[in-house]
Amino acid sequence: MTCGECFQHGNEANFDSFNLEQQVSWPFTMKIHQVLDKAIRLSLFPFSLAGKAMVWLNSLLENSLTDWEEIVAKFLNNYFPQSKVNKGKQEISSFQQEDSESLSQTWDMFKGLLRKIPTHGFDMPAQFTLFLGGLQSHTKLMLDASVGGNIKWKTLEEAHEMIENIASNDNEMQNERATSQKK
């Protein structure tokens, strides 16, 4: 999703699914001889904007952004002020699975919290610990049983893949149940 799509309707709520890493990966899909990737990013950035984000960019002094890191910092500071980051970090830190939530719903909710604040600062081990710490005991037991031991003994990559697969299967089963109940 581009910055512009986030603000398509003039509503910052659309920004929840913005992925700065996706924006950063653009230049690596193309190369220009003797042109730095940072220069390509900088030149492409305005084309990713629309709505409020374009108004923000146009409000800056012409040619005031000459460095990719500077534009990322200004963009994030504008749309993710420290108060919003702090609130998001608190939501992530206090994450808890609800009684009626399935693993797939819980996993999607947790990933949504992380996407909501791309500058949350939690590294992968911390994210994993927070996610597992917020699960109901029956969900933790199910994950441990699925991996044949304690999921914490798996590498981050293995644990992430297992959770993704289990959540995906869980989601498919819920969809099948919903379809069969409608008949």
pLDDT tens-place string over residues 32-66: 788 887 788 788 888 888 888 888 888 988 878 78
pLDDT at 17: 40
Buried b / exposed e across 20-37, counting CB within 10 Å, b at 16+? eeebeebbeeeeeeeeee
Q: What sign has the CA pseudo-torsion 177, 179, 180, 183?
A: positive
* pLDDT surpasses 80 at 18: no
Q: What is the dihedral of CA 21, 151, 90, 102, to 10 degrees?
A: 90
CA distance 163 to 35: 41
CB 41 within 8 A of CB 68: yes
Q: How does pLDDT run across 162-178, given as a tens digit for each residue?
A: 999 999 887 666 666 66
pLDDT at 173: 67
Please compute the mean of the pLDDT values over residues 110-126 and round it to a whole number. 92
pLDDT at 44: 81
CB 43 within 8 A of CB 56: no
* pLDDT surpasses 80 at 9: no
CB 168 within 8 A of CB 112: no
CA distance 147 to 134: 19
Per-residue confidence band for 20, with pLDDT thresholds at 50, 70 and 90: low
pLDDT at 111: 95
Average pLDDT value for the chain? 81
CA distance 108 to 174: 14
* Backbone angle region of 111, left / alpha / beta, with phi > 0 → left and psi within -120 to 50 → alpha: alpha
Structure tokens, 127: 């994210």
Structure tokens, 97: 């699975």
Length of the chain: 183
Half-sphere exposure of 88 (CA within 13 A, CB side): 22
CB 78 within 8 A of CB 56: yes
